[in-house]
Structures are given as structure tokens and as C-alpha cells.
Structure 1
Amino acid sequence: MSTLHTVQLQCNTHVQISNDGGDLSSDAGMALMVEFLHKIKFDALLRATVHFNDTRTRIAHDYRDTLTQKLLMNIAGYFHNNAANTLRSDPAFQILMSDQFVSQPSLSRFFANVSTENLLQLRELLWQIACVYFNHCLQRQFILDIDSTHSDTYGRQEDATFNAHYMAYGYHPQVVFDHSTGLLLDALLRPGNTYTGKDADQFLERTFNHLAQLRNHAEVIVRGDSGFASPDFYAACDERRYGFIVRLKANKKLGRLADAKVNDIMLDTGDSVSVYHELNYQPTTWKRAYRVIVRSEHVAGELAFWNHTFIVTNLEAIEAERLFPFYQARGNVENDIKELKNGFGFDQTDSSKFVCNAARALISGAAYNMIQVFKQLFVPEDTRMTINGLRLALFHTAGRITRHAHKLIIHLSAQYVYANWFWLLLTAIQALEL
């Protein structure tokens, strides 16, 4: 039970603040998400996808219900397990979860029971949530942005190692997003010293298999930075007849070839110039030759005559001038990663065990995908709205709970600023047909 406080304001001594308000909730708006989970049949989806080896003799709370609770906690912004001790007494969460809200010790036991097989199932759950939207809108064009990021660790977490790029100890997860929807298609937690593009072809294989199972034939282009420039990565895309466009690190040979292309260009150091050209370039490690496009730039006033940027691609029909802007658009994946981490706690590493931390990350990813699908279906005019904006306007909404004639009623404030939007969304959710 929360400690009762009464504090007098210094700015106005006639005003006191107390937390003895009774059956009040600051999360009444989470009713929208619980209704949304019901409409997309999330419980059935979860039962078909994730299977726990539950050896308990007395089961008060099914582990899948516990997973759903953790997902809703992440959506509401409560990343740490100990928040459950307070939230289980929250009247809105009590009635929305049918009094099945578990405490922090139960959440900790849940994570301790997660197996490596469950991690594969949770990765499948990411995809199945994304498919709610893909199957609904029959999406067939995909631009996949693959990247890696860093999750800090503190203490002696299992498999936490030093990453020289980030100059920190932690994990180095690999992620792949769909550019147009921002949906997370797969995620893999890895030790901190794992190279960015290590086994990226194998990582993508799961997503490629999923795309091949969609009802419509998927047209796919994969984009990655120079960490993913490897023959195996190119071959994995070629085998599926998927396009790719990847940044290449500069080296002496590429530099000489690029310089030879611009040697005859008369250049005034006061001019800013960009020129594009292709190179005849196939290292011995490549299984075949690919298009290597060079953008050679000179910025007015700079002493260096030319700066070269290289990309490699199997896309033959797109002009060089269009390829570079197309590649640079992958920069938005950094915003998706930022939202995933800051908005949903993807980089929370509260456990000493690697499997537990991986499960936390994947459940955070599932919460992120749930909101992305929600936005695509119901907020299409502002799909880049962050979760913090949704929490402020919709989820963290004051409500009072009453019981009358065998019914539970959530009363929202009469002065609720976003009331019109709330009721429009609730109506749209209830009208949803998948």
C-alpha cells in the first residue's frame, strides 16, 4: 500500500496535496489497448505462438497472461518489474486484467522460467503482430532496414562484453525494420563484442521466410550500412531475388578507381560539385560482380579536392543519382531504434542472465509493434507520433471506478482534453474487422 502524504504548497498555502483519493487511476486510457488486443485476438495469437514449460503444481496465473501484463506495462511506460506491486492495486488495471495482475516476485519467476526456445517463439510473436497489419492491408512492397544498436549493462550480466565502437560494456542486438510502417520484423540480442554484420545473412533468413509466406508476392529491398557489406549478405538477397543496397567502406583500391573517374574534371575550389559514376570492381571475396556506385563530392572552400562515398547494389534499373537518396533514407531507422529503446525499454537489462534480458528485449519489441500496428490502423495521418505522445493524450488518463448493477464503470474526467479523440478511437477499434 502506498504511503499517505499531505503536503502544503508554498506558492499557495491554502492548497494541500494528498494521495488519499481512493478508487482513482491514472491509466484509465489503457482500456483502449486492452480492447485493441481483444479485437485482434491477441490471446489466441499468443497461445498459438508461445509455449512455456510450466512445471508449477499450483497455477494462479498462466505465464501467457503474465506476458500480456508485461506487454501492457511496457506500453504504459512501466519498464521495471517492481512497478507491478503498485499497479496490481490500480483499479483500472485490476478490472481490465480481470484481477490477474501479478506482483514483482511473480514477474521475476516468469522471466527465470523463460528458455532459449521461448526466445525463438517471442521472435515469432514479433512477426505475427506485424502480420496483423500486413495481412489487413495486403502490403506487398517492403524496404527492410537492418542495423545494430547497443544496450548498456551494469554489473556482471551474462555475456555482457566491451564494445569498442560504443566504448561501453553491454549487448549488441541486431534488428530489422520495415521502413514504411516502422514495424520491427525481428530482433536478436547478442554479446557486446559481436561484430555488427556477423551472420546477418542467417538473421535475415527468418524474415525472408516470413515474407515468402505472405499471401501477396513480396517485393523486397534490403538496406544496410558498411557493417553489413559481405558476400554472404549479398548472396542471401540474390537467392531470393531481393534487392539490396549497402554502404562500402573506402579503401585504397576504391579510392584510386574513384580518383581516376574525376581526374579530368576541371574544378574550382570555390564550387560545390557532386558527380556520380560506376566502377568496375570485384574483390576476390565476392562471388560475382555487383554495381558499385560512387558519389564524388567537393564542398566549396574545402582543401581536399574530392570526397568519395561508395555503395554496392544488385539493383540494375535505378539510376545512380536516385540510389544515394534512397540509401540515405535508411537513416530513419535510427529514430525507430530510439523509439524502441526510449519508449519501450528495449535496452533494459535488469537481470544477470542473458536469456532473461533477451526475453525482456523481445517483449519490449512486441509492445512496440503493438503500438505501430495501432498507429497504422487508427492514426494513419500521424504514424510517426511517439509513444510518449500517445501516453500523454490517451493512456495516462485519469479515471474513477464505480460498481453499479453488477457492472464496472470507468468514469473519465469531464474536463478530459482529448475526450473526442478517445471516443473516436474506441469506436474505430470496436468496428475493426480483420
Structure 2
Amino acid sequence: MAVATGCHTQFGFGFQRKLTVAFDGGEITSDAGLLLVREFDERLGLTAALREAVSETRDRRYVTHDLLALLRQRVYQIAAGYEDANDAGFLRADPTLQTVAQRLGTPLASQPTLSRFENAAPWDTMRRLNRVLRQWFTRHAVSRRQPPAELVLDIDSTDDPTHGQQELSFFNGHYDEHMYHPLLVFADGYLLGARLRPGDVGGATHLRPLLEPIVAHLRGALPTTAIALRADGGFCNPDLLDYAEQAGLTYAIGMPPNPKLDAAVALSRLHAEVTYERTGHPVRWFTSLPYQTRSWRRPRRVLAMIEHTAQGPNVRFVVTNRRGRAADIFAWYHQRGQAENFIKELKRDLAADRLSCHAFRANAFRLLLHALAYDLLQLFRLRVLAGTALARATLGTVRLRLLKLGARVVRSVRRWWFHLATGWPGQPLFLTVHRHLQRLRASP
């Protein structure tokens, strides 16, 4: 490779003609596909609803970036794969991000501005942002004219490794690391609520303050829809069971084994082992029994699944108030494993575990910014990508195939042109998505 001038670089790959690279292509963006998401956002008024979630406390005489522009900049940066506030340094002049933040031709906020914004967010803002997540769901993810017969809320938590001296970072023996312990509530892949917790808290800690507003909102918006809960054994505590029954919710929640339960299924476990040894085929049996712990106010129905395979015995317990055969309820309960895939998308594709602030409150705010970006793309996939090759793609694939789109930007007095590559193979998909957007309406 030889440098021809300060602006031109030549390559010698054995071509007969010279290959020269020059920094004279004008304004270029690598994320022009975000314009589709922004059009979707505008038609449904999604990020516009964030105005109600934030309160201006700054001296307006010194304000350059209004709060909605800051929120849009941060949410769209995360959606595009730029999860760090540091990324704002080289994205401030990006024409696509300026467009989606409605700051045409004006530099976006810098990293220090975004960091001050995140650290200044009060706890009440987190409550309001969770309310926006719920409103997005009932207004745009489900039909109120033909509401679902049942909504299943999958409750789960995950680890968020911490570094350095971050506030409320504690060692968690279960995960064997210093971490935060976010609490998440999903419905069909949509994130209905998120709360950041210290790293040393148990599974169900702070669950009711997150869950109760979700249930109340769903009851108000979808009064004919039944609500069910699914969760693993980390959430099996009397407070949650009592609340679910008082609120009229059905549930199936994993239950850790104990000597009394083990004794109750000991004979079935022995028979399963004998049957496996005689036939050589895996054995799976189900049974149901009334059971009451000392902390329960009354007996409840506990289901047991007894397996014996080449890997040995496996016994699982679930406490439930749902009607039906034990095998059917276990099959329904096992679908909660899909929540692990939702968390994988949230963390891997939306980098929700990238909570780098020192202050715990700022990181709690960051978690909700990632939740907003996740749900924005979830709704986009649900409402716009249906019927396309990306209808069932992961959010990371949607970003790679549709949003990561290079363009040359040309400005005139009346118009901004985003010139896309003539030979881009995704052109039919782009045009199909745009047609879907033209027909888009809010959920009836």
C-alpha cells in the first residue's frame, strides 16, 4: 500500500488498474435503516410518549438539548448497537441519528451531556418509564377489540456483572460473581417491566412493587383477559402466592425440593428407576399432591415430574392453582424457558448488561433505556416485519440485515437525500417494509 497524497491512498492487490481510496465521498452514514424504525415510531407516537416520563429541572437559559431529544438519541443509539455513552463522541454528526432525534444539521449531545442526563434522573422517572412500557404494550402489541383470552407473564431475573466500585454491586454466590440482579417481566417476548436490584438480593425481592402496577394496568386495559404467572423456584415465596390468589391470577411456579416433598414421591421415583432398568427406555411420570409449608396459610396443589433417563433420576416440583392434568400444566410451565431467549436478546443484542455508571440510580435509568430500545424493536418486528423474511429473526439479525445500511447523504434547501447502494441485495425487503409502514395503524 502506498500513500499518494494526504487524502488519497493506493492499494496494490495485483489489479491492472490502480486502486485508490479517497476521503471525498461526502456525508456517509452506516445506519440508514433506522429511518424505517423512526417512521414506525412516529406513526404510533412511541417515543413522543416519553415526554410524560421526564421532568425538566435544568435552567432553560443554558439548555441546548431538550430531554426528548436526549432520550431519542440514547434509545436509538442503543437500538443501533452503540450502547455506550462514549459512542456519542463519534456519532454526534451522524446524519441518521440527527434525523431520528429531530436535530437535523445540529450536533447531538456529547458523552458528558448524556452522562449528566443519566446521573440526574430521579427515581420517579424510572416509575414513569415502566408505565410507558406498559402503555406501549396495551396500545400497540395487543388488540383491544379482540383481546387475547389469556396473557402469560414470565417473571425472571438475570445477572449483570459489575466492575470496580459500582454502587450496590455485591457478590452473588449463585452466579459466583460481583453483579447487579435485574428483575424482568415479559409477555410474549415484550418487556413489560424492569427493575435494577443490588447483586445480593434473592429472586423475588422487590417483585410486587414491579408486578402490581403491571397487573393493574392490564386489568384496566384488557378487562376480559385472564392473567397467568410463570416463574422458576427462585420466586416461590408465600407473598407472591398470596398476592396472585388475591388478585385472581393463575400461576405455575417452580418449587425447590425439600425432604418432605422428596419423601412424598420416593416410591414413584423408585418405580421409575426400576422401569428404566427393565426397559432401557426413558421414563417420565407426573403426579399431584396437596402440600402445605409452615409459611403457607393453607394447603396448595403441588405437581411432581419424575424422570429417569441415562443421565439418572430427575425430579421437579411446581406449585400451581391452574386446573388440568399435571402433564399438561408441566408442559405449559416448561414454556417459560422461552424467557431465557428473551433475556438473551435483551443482553446480547441490546447490551442491557452494559451498565457502566458508578451510581446505582443512573444504572437503573440505563436499564430502562435499554428496555425501551428492546421494546421499540420488538414492536417494529411484530407490527412491520410480519410476513417478511425477518418476521422471526432475532433483533441482532434485524439490525444487521435491515438497519445497518450505508448511505451517502446529500443536503439541499428543501430535502435531505439518503442515497443507498444500487446493488444492495436487501432492497426488496426495504421496500416491502416501507409499504407495510404506509398501511400501519395503531392497534384497534
- With normalisation by structure 1, the TM-score equals 0.91
- With normalisation by structure 2, the TM-score equals 0.90
Counterpart code for 1:392: L
Q: Paired residue for 1:343?
A: 349
C-alpha distance in 2, partners of 1:246/1:281?
Answer: 14
Aligned-pair CA distance for 1:45:
1.3
Residue 77 of structure 2 corresponds to residue 61 of structure 1 = no
CA contact (8 A) 2:378 2:395 kept: no
Encode CA deviations 1:297-327: one digit per residue, 9 max, x unaligned: 2225x6x6x53211110002x2111111211
Q: Paired residue for 1:288?
A: 298
Residue pairs, 1:304-323, within 5 angstroms: 306-316=313-323, 318-323=324-329
Match of 2:409 among 391, 401, 426: 401
Q: Secondary structure at the match of 2:200?
A: coil
CA contact (8 A) 2:25 2:408 kept: no
Counterpart code for 1:73: Q
Q: Paired residue for 1:206?
A: 213
Aligned-pair CA distance for 1:206:
1.8
Q: Secondary structure at the match of 1:82?
A: helix
Residue 136 of structure 2 corresponds to residue 166 of structure 1 = no
Deviates further, 409-418 or 93-102: 93-102
Q: Secondary structure at the match of 2:286?
A: strand
C-alpha distance in 2, partners of 1:195/1:52?
Answer: 35
Match of 2:224 among 210, 214, 217: 217
Q: Paired residue for 1:353?
A: 359
Q: Paired residue for 1:157?
A: 166
Aligned-pair CA distance for 1:258:
0.6
Q: Paired residue for 2:3?
A: none
CA contact (8 A) 1:132 1:373 kept: no
Q: Paired residue for 2:50?
A: 46
C-alpha distance in 1, partners of 2:269/2:200?
Answer: 39
Counterpart code for 1:94: Q
Q: Paired residue for 1:273?
A: 283
Aligned-pair CA distance for 1:383:
4.3
C-alpha distance in 1, partners of 2:24/2:308?
Answer: 67
Aligned-pair CA distance for 1:136:
4.2
CA contact (8 A) 2:233 2:254 kept: yes
Q: Paired residue for 1:253?
A: 260
Aligned-pair CA distance for 1:404:
4.0
Aligned-pair CA distance for 1:27:
1.3
Residue 31 of structure 2 corresponds to residue 35 of structure 1 = no
Aligned-pair CA distance for 1:43:
4.6
CA contact (8 A) 1:40 1:132 kept: no
C-alpha distance in 2, partners of 1:128/1:241?
Answer: 22
Aligned-pair CA distance for 1:56:
4.5
Q: Paired residue for 2:430?
A: 422
Q: Paired residue for 1:177?
A: 186
Pair 1:199–1:111, CA change in 2 (3 A): closer
Aligned-pair CA distance for 1:252:
0.8
Residue 89 of structure 2 corresponds to residue 80 of structure 1 = no
Q: Secondary structure at the match of 2:408?
A: strand
Aligned-pair CA distance for 1:130:
2.0
Deviates further, 238-247 or 267-276: 267-276
CA contact (8 A) 2:268 2:306 kept: no
Q: Secondary structure at the match of 1:325?
A: helix
Aligned-pair CA distance for 1:396:
1.2
Aligned-pair CA distance for 1:216:
4.1
Size of the alignment, in residue pairs?
425
CA contact (8 A) 2:53 2:125 kept: no
Give every structure 1 segment of 4 or more consecutive aligned residues whose post-TM-superposition deviation is greater than 4 Å.
Answer: 4-14, 16-20, 135-138, 261-266
Segments of 5+ residues of structure 2 without an aligned counterpart are 1-5
Q: Paired residue for 2:233?
A: 226
Counterpart code for 2:393: M
Q: Secondary structure at the match of 2:265?
A: helix
Encode CA deviations 1:172-216: one digit per residue, 9 max, x unaligned: 01001003xx10000100000011122423331121111111144
Pair 1:192–1:5, CA change in 2 (3 A): farther
C-alpha distance in 2, partners of 1:51/1:214?
Answer: 26
Pair 1:268–1:89, CA change in 2 (3 A): closer
C-alpha distance in 2, partners of 1:9/1:109?
Answer: 44
Q: Secondary structure at the match of 2:179?
A: strand
Deviates further, 188-197 or 54-63: 54-63
Match of 2:386 among 361, 380, 387: 380
Pair 1:16–1:166, CA change in 2 (3 A): farther
C-alpha distance in 2, partners of 1:81/1:262?
Answer: 54
Counterpart code for 1:81: A
CA contact (8 A) 1:345 1:361 kept: no
Aligned identity (percent) is 31
Q: Paired residue for 2:439?
A: 431
Q: Paired residue for 1:324?
A: 330
Match of 1:117 among 111, 118, 124: 124
Residue 122 of structure 2 corresponds to residue 126 of structure 1 = no
Segments of 5+ residues of structure 1 without an aligned counterpart are none
Encode CA deviations 1:203-235: one digit per residue, 9 max, x unaligned: 311211111111442211110000011111111
CA contact (8 A) 1:7 1:16 kept: yes
Pair 1:8–1:319, CA change in 2 (3 A): farther
Counterpart code for 1:25: T
Residue pairs, 1:90-105, within 5 angstroms: 90-96=94-100, 97-99=102-104, 101-105=108-112
Residue 74 of structure 2 corresponds to residue 70 of structure 1 = yes
Counterpart code for 1:32: L
